[in-house]
Amino acid sequence: MSAQSQSVTALEKIMQLNVTGHHVDITIALRKYVVNKLEKIERHFDNVSDVHCILTVEKLRHKAEATVSLNGGKIYADSTEEDMYAAIDGLIDKLDRQVKKYKEKLADHHARENNKRNFG
């Protein structure tokens, strides 16, 4: 395997992240904050392929919204707060709950039912 093909496979394992801003400049610190928070979601479910995060400022409302592409579906969440960092925290909490719920649905529950029949 050549060095170029190894780097391509390493890039395929990393999720694609797009952070865009509406009426707000995406600073390096803001982007790093989003990336660090999204690692929480990656820890719970490693099949995240693409994340599109939109940060918006409208007067005193700071809104963070994101669409996460998983194998087999998409998850959307948004959060509105008075502070952008608080909005990002709220967004990540919502996404994390939804990803855990999605992962739970993927689990095979039929095996558990077969064990109940054997013992009951």
Q: What's the pLDDT tens digit per position in 39-94?
A: 888 887 777 888 999 999 998 999 999 999 888 789 999 999 999 999 999 999 99
Structural domain containing residue 58 = 22-107
DSSP state of 15: P
* Whether the predicted pLDDT of 2 surpasses 50: no
Mean pLDDT on 23-42: 90
Q: How many domains does the chain have?
A: 1
pLDDT of residue 114: 59
* Whether the predicted pLDDT of 31 surpasses 60: yes
Residue 11 lies in a domain: no
Residue 10 lies in a domain: no
Distance (Å, whole) CA 25 – CA 36: 18
When mean pLDDT is compared across 31-40, 49-58, 107-116, the lowest value belongs to 107-116
Residue 94 lies in a domain: yes
For the chain, give the mean pLDDT: 81
Residue 119 lies in a domain: no
Q: Which residue has the higher pLDDT, 48 or 9?
A: 48
* CATH number reported for the structural domain that contains residue 75 in this entry: 3.30.160.100
pLDDT of residue 9: 32
Strand stretches in 1-95, DSSP E: 16-22, 48-58, 61-70, 73-81
pLDDT of residue 10: 35
**pTM score, two decimals?**
0.75
Contact criterion met (CB below 8 Å) for 75 and 105: no
